[in-house]
Chains A and B, each alone.
Chain A
């Protein structure tokens, strides 16, 4: 038996809407299908024009970030227009049935084109708006900008004339034709991807996985390197349109099937892509951000084990990161540390993890007897107790253990096998600076946490955790010692966070009690960690990693709206919970949970009544 039998989209259901889509009414007008060709020509023309426009200067001065003034050399935001136009064209050709490209659109063909065209339009027009805003007026446009505006508009107009993949039905009550909003929504919907007609050969599948990881690396590197302000916003705009476009095309689903078939290859490819990142970087600015992202993401993954698997809502998780960081700082031999000990790094890691484990057990033992809201409040309380205790263990209010609010600065760099991680090393002709060294070290820890997460999830332990999350009473009735397993999850999560904390202390040179709050405008803090897990997708490996990356990059890149950041996060979360409650990356369970109407605990009323009256 293979996993394919579980796939809810059997070929039959996937093909049914496709067949009707051929002769279906157009989303906005009811033109005869002969106009399909015209629409396709229009889109193709628009994509080409938008592409060509990037070869010309868009503005006259390099004062606008990204330097859009050089002919035949696209840069900055122009790259994003190119990507959008290229993807529009690729989906268009795939949808038209060009051999060799059809693999790209197993799901929706036209909705993917429409979304890609909209993404191109959005980023091109956004660039135009930003130029006009920054430099003062439309007079700052060079002809290339106008060409880009026109081309992207042309593509969208063409895409709107494509027939919908899932045609909008007339109103069943009145029989009236669906109104325009309804039809637009239908134009953006896509049928579930069909099963591939012919399987690719094994090597080609592995190649596809590697290519996807490479693209992932490129996207991440682009996002991290994008300058503050317009270039980063442009990146977000393109990502917001093209990600659903790829999803509508059914590519995401297809990739996840491939990844499921070659798990080890996927993990290795992703790991290799992550390893390559510091090599693609010429200076330290972005590896600095990358190592922070990695630490934040690793801690989020640890929290995911507690929240996503065992269902324990922990609002004080960042305290365990702090425990690890402080332990490492105290034994690091820093001149400001109250204790004059200098342990080797491996010992500091083990000690940090062990201390965090003890804290996890001590905090978990009483609090895990509570449930739901009460548990959440208690963990929140313990998180704050940690911060305040650290502040007060300064020699005045208590014994001097943590140096209190004076913090422990000047933590020395690590030395591993004779390598001083603080210095620049040249390996295989690549220069790796301080942050690149720490990035590689942290990557090792991330890999360990990923392995622990996957292995414990897929075992008797993980099943017991999920059973407790689903229904604690039933889990106990099945013989699961709920308290013990919850304590295990809690303590394991604490240990992993403590481990990550030991690296954090060295990367940041210092530890400060104020960094481990419940909520703060910058990560890491407990609230952000939880948001990263929920945003990314509970119970998945990649979800918290992506969620954490976004959550770290967005505040770092959008400094100019720092005052509104928390407000924007709030709005974004509300929207996410409304439209995609399972998070960006859906757990296979969550996906079914939130998007199907099956009710479990309600026996059919009539039948139940019948049996009782019979009695």
Chain B
């Protein structure tokens, strides 16, 4: 990653309040409890991973954090302030996210995508846009400079005027991160940032996330790729069937029996033992001989 002068404005005073505190978040859809009583904290400078089998409720939990869903119970707070359940206000507060299925503004250029990300950090209204005073022009110029800086940071500076839809898949993922970073978040939520990527692209994404952390933005990442998560994260939480099963360092989580069980399954009680298997094999062999004879 290239070096950059990008500084997150949020890391100025040392702040020991957690960037994110989810307390007792529960999400029910009718009779289905997708997320049940999940607590999670993310501190400044941390990269936290959230893993779990398909359907464990990771993305639902993300949507609760970012105001897309209103959790049935529990609160989400950012730096000690409880967040409202409106997605644009959450972004305004300082939490930005990417989506599991890339949701770029497909027919806008790369630069415009990032400029939309600047929306909450600029305030030019309709009248200043119509009058085009010096303040408007300065704000536009600054936004553009900032956006170009982010494109350089993510390695997309050569593609600024291409339509987002025409970028290759890996670069679309990068652009989504650049767009999220444009809102100058204190916490970045990444929903499966390496899904569908080659090994090389995954490594590049890992470096990008580390560089984001360097700038003082905490990161919470959902991922399926275990190697990616365990190499990257300071702390990993495992979500199974809507509940937080384990939380701890990558080593702890990796060696936890319950996690292995959740991913690979546990032996059930009536499972056939060695003896039964041998018996069945013998019977089958006898059967075959009989058929030939």
Contacts and interface: CB of A to CB of B under 8 A. Distances in A.
Interface of A: 1, 3, 5-6, 451-452, 455-456, 459-464, 466-467, 470-471, 473-482, 488, 492, 589-590, 592-593, 596, 598, 600-601, 603-604, 607-608, 611-612, 614-615
A612 B88 contact: no
Q: How large, as a class, is the contact surface on chain B?
A: 35 or more
A482 B58 CA distance: 26
24 contacts: A6-B162, A459-B129, A460-B129, A460-B139, A460-B140, A463-B112, A467-B105, A471-B104, A471-B105, A475-B116, A477-B87, A478-B183, A480-B119, A590-B107, A600-B104, A600-B172, A601-B101, A601-B102, A601-B103, A604-B169, A607-B197, A614-B226, A615-B224, A615-B225
B148 to A, nearest CB: 9
Pick the most buried of B97, B109, B120, B196: most chain A CB atoms within 10 A of its CB: B196
Q: Which 7 A-B pairs have the closest CB atoms?
A: A479-B120, A603-B196, A6-B161, A479-B91, A459-B129, A474-B103, A470-B105
Contacts of B68: 473, 476-477
Pick the most buried of B88, B97, B169: most chain A CB atoms within 10 A of its CB: B88
B194 A611 contact: yes
A492 B106 CA distance: 25
What does DSSP make chain A's interface, helix, strand, loop or mixed?
helix
Given A459-B140, A474-B103, A479 B161 contact: no
Contact of A460 (B87, B103, B122): B122
Given A592-B107, A600-B102, A477 B163 contact: no
A479 B166 contact: no
A461 B169 contact: no
B126 A492 contact: yes
Contacts of B202: 611
B10 interface: no
A450 to B, nearest CB: 12
B124 interface: yes
A262 to B, nearest CB: 18
Pick the most buried of B104, B129, B195, B198: most chain A CB atoms within 10 A of its CB: B129
Contacts, number: 153
A324 to B, nearest CB: 19
Nearest to A604: B196
A487 to B, nearest CB: 12
B125 interface: yes
Nearest to B109: A6
A451 B263 CA distance: 60
A3 B163 CA distance: 13
Contacts of A474: 99, 103-105
A476 B90 CA distance: 10
A122 B118 CA distance: 54
B129 A592 contact: no
A553 B109 CA distance: 36
Contact of A475 (B105, B109, B126): B105
Contacts of B198: 607
Pick the most buried of A456, A470, A612: most chain B CB atoms within 10 A of its CB: A470
Contacts of B108: 463, 466-467, 470, 589
Contact of B88 (A460, A482, A488, A492): A482
Contacts of B36: none
Nearest to A489: B126
Contacts of B96: 477-478
A537 to B, nearest CB: 14
Pick the most buried of B117, B163, B164: most chain A CB atoms within 10 A of its CB: B163
A611 B179 CA distance: 25
A478 B119 contact: yes
A615 B226 contact: yes
B126 A473 contact: no
A462 B104 CA distance: 17
Contacts of A612: 224
A3 B161 contact: yes
Pick the most buried of A464, A478, A592, A614: most chain B CB atoms within 10 A of its CB: A478
A598 B195 contact: no
